[in-house]
């Protein structure tokens, strides 16, 4: 019988996120994650097998939890559009300099070149788009969007605008990131508001 786990996988994946933020996925080492998690690298190898196994677990966890900011925003805001705004803009709060999202954006290389990572990235994108579409459908039902607004294609446009705003901000660093996200969201939704 093995020893009980004193650190949860969730805590290790949170430590992985912090280490990715500092080193990027390419520069990440098991030692860096172990240092963040207060564990030994050998413990990470026992749990995840390798750096690749750890990063795949991280990607799977991100896909699995993609809906959480939207669910939290639904509980905190009565208006579907306010919840959408809070969920999308809230993901960018605390990011102060363009170098900070580099680790997350560095994952894009894995997502584009490795089919296992791509599957998790595609699932994350799908779950995010589904949450956006659901909030837009609720906004239409609540009269916040103009009659005839189609939530599915609008959700795709919102997702593209917000992802594009993140990349553009990472390149230019113009103003605070939450402001850039808010501007992209507002510009995309403006023609559809009731």
Question: Which CATH number does the domain housing residue 44 bear?
Answer: 1.10.10.60
**Same domain? 28 vs 72:** no
**Same domain? 134 vs 45:** no
pLDDT at 1 over 60: no
**Same domain? 126 vs 170:** yes
| Structural domain includes residue 15 | yes
Q: Which of 76, 91, 107, 109 is nearest to 169 (CA)?
A: 91
pLDDT at 66 over 70: yes
**Same domain? 23 vs 110:** no
- Rounded CA gap, 40 and 82, in Å? 43
pLDDT at 180: 93
Phi-psi group of 174: left, alpha or beta (phi > 0 → left; psi -120 to 50 → alpha; rest → beta): beta
Query: Residue 116 is part of a domain; what is its CATH number?
Result: 1.10.357
Q: Which residues make beta-bridge pairs with 193? A: 145
Percent of the chain with pLDDT over 90: 70
**Same domain? 150 vs 129:** yes
**Same domain? 182 vs 132:** yes
- Rounded CA gap, 101 and 20, in Å? 10
pLDDT at 2 over 60: no
**Same domain? 156 vs 105:** yes
**Same domain? 120 vs 188:** yes
- Once rounded to an integer, what is the mean pLDDT over residues 68-76? 96
| Structural domain includes residue 2 | no
pLDDT at 190 over 90: yes
The pLDDT-based confidence of 6 (bands split at 50, 70, 90) is confident
DSSP code string of 8-71: -HHHHHHHHHHHHHHHHHHH--HHHHHHHHTS-HHHHHHHHSSHHHHHHHHHHHHHHTTTHHHH
**Same domain? 89 vs 159:** yes
Distances (CA, A) of 80 to 44, 72, 124, 135, 149: 41, 12, 21, 5, 14
Contact predicate 146/86, CB 8 Å: no
SS3 151: helix
- Once rounded to an integer, what is the mean pLDDT over residues 28-51? 93
Structurally, the chain folds into a number of domains equal to 2
Contact predicate 131/84, CB 8 Å: no
**Same domain? 126 vs 187:** yes
pLDDT at 150: 95
pLDDT at 30 over 80: yes
**DSSP count for the chain of H helices, then E strands:** 10, 0
**Same domain? 44 vs 100:** no
Distances (CA, A) of 192 to 23, 62, 98, 145, 152: 41, 30, 31, 6, 13
| pLDDT, greater one: 93 or 50 | 50
Contact predicate 32/19, CB 8 Å: yes
Q: What is the mean pLDDT of the chain?
A: 90
pLDDT at 93: 77
Report pLDDT digits (tens) over 129-174. Answer: 999 999 999 999 999 999 899 999 999 999 999 999 988 998 888 8
Domain that holds residue 30: 9-54
- Rounded CA gap, 183 and 39, in Å? 42
């Amino acid at each position: 019988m093995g020893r009980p786990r004193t650190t949860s996988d969730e805590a290790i994946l949170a430590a992985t996120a912090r280490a990715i933020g500092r080193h990027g996925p390419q520069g990440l080492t098991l030692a860096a994650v172990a240092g963040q998690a207060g564990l030994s690298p050998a413990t990470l190898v026992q749990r995840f097998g390798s750096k690749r196994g750890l990063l795949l677990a991280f990607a799977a966890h991100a896909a699995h939890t993609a809906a959480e900011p939207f669910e939290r925003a639904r509980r905190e805001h009565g208006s579907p559009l306010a919840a959408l705004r809070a969920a999308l803009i809230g993901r960018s709060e605390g990011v102060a300099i363009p170098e900070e999202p580099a680790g997350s954006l560095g994952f894009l290389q894995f997502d584009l070149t490795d089919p296992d990572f791509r599957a998790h990235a595609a699932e994350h994108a799908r779950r995010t788009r589904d949450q956006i579409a659901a909030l837009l459908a609720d906004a239409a039902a609540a009269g916040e969007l103009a009659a005839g607004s189609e939530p599915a294609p609008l959700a795709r446009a919102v997702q593209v605008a917000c992802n594009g705003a993140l990349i553009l901000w990472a390149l230019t660093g113009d103003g605070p990131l939450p402001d850039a996200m808010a501007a992209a969201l507002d510009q995309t939704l403006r023609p559809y508001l009731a």
